[in-house]
Amino acid sequence: MRIVVTTSLRPTPIQVSRASEMATWFGATFVPRGGRSLAQLLQDADAVVVAADPAVIHVRGVEHPLFFHPSMAHQRLKRLEQGESDRLIALAEIGPGDAVVDATIGLGTDALVFAAAVGPEGRMVGIERSPVLYGLLRAVQAYGSEAHPREARLLQRVHLIHGDHLDWLRSQPDQSVDVVYFDPMFREPVRESTHMRPIRPVAWEASLAREALEEAKRVARRAVIVKERPKSGVFEALGLEPDRTTGRFAYGVWRRPG
């Protein structure tokens, strides 16, 4: 995928500086806007990143742009602040000071909730193979988000890694984190909101490999959790017990014996 990073049509010096810096995170080329339209830029690139709060990404052939949005994490974080429980946090038995790895962080929806649950004294690692999604999260960490300041601050607690989660897991000691979490792209997409639709074309769509699950079991002290559709067959194939058999999604859980 060829990615270019640019600015608005009438950029400020700050936007130019940011766009130039962001190009490295996206593995992209910085291209001055020079009065060109997005359509013109997309003739020679698969994706165009525009420096704006902090980045808006236009993908060739995709109607809606991609930008940082916490999605359901916004409401989940509000409920946690009010002392209510969260389904995933309760299932993972996560608390302050824990170490969690989100091995397929995507746009960070679940990682934000994990980061809130482990607190500033905890450890939160997020791994993303897609250069577009990694670059966007890295930009939010660096520059924040005027639209979502609370979520941007939480994202700063996450140690972001651009790469393959299997390679990272192989390099880790036995039982070195509490929980490893996977949320790969669903094999059968559910109905998606407008701001989520642009993710699929730029995401890493490979299914979760058995070897990655086994490595996660070795690395996790407490549990490995996989998110998928309950009727997808993934849980049965991986030997995981889903927390639900109906609904839009379920969590398959492996817990360390004893």
What's the pLDDT score for residue 202? Answer: 77
Distance CA 212, CA 172 (A): 12
**Each residue of 95-115: pLDDT tens digit?**
999 999 999 999 999 999 999
pLDDT band at 80 (very low <50, low <70, confident <90, very high): very high
**Each residue of 191-217: pLDDT tens digit?**
555 555 667 667 766 789 999 999 999
pLDDT band at 140 (very low <50, low <70, confident <90, very high): very high
Distance CA 214, CA 224 (A): 10
Q: Are 114 and 176 in contact (CB under 8 A)?
A: no
Q: What is the pTM of this model?
A: 0.92
Query: Which tokens go with 159?
Result: 């140690």
> Which residues have a Cβ under 8 Å from the Cβ of 160 and sit 6 or more positions away?
105, 126, 127, 128, 134, 137, 138, 141
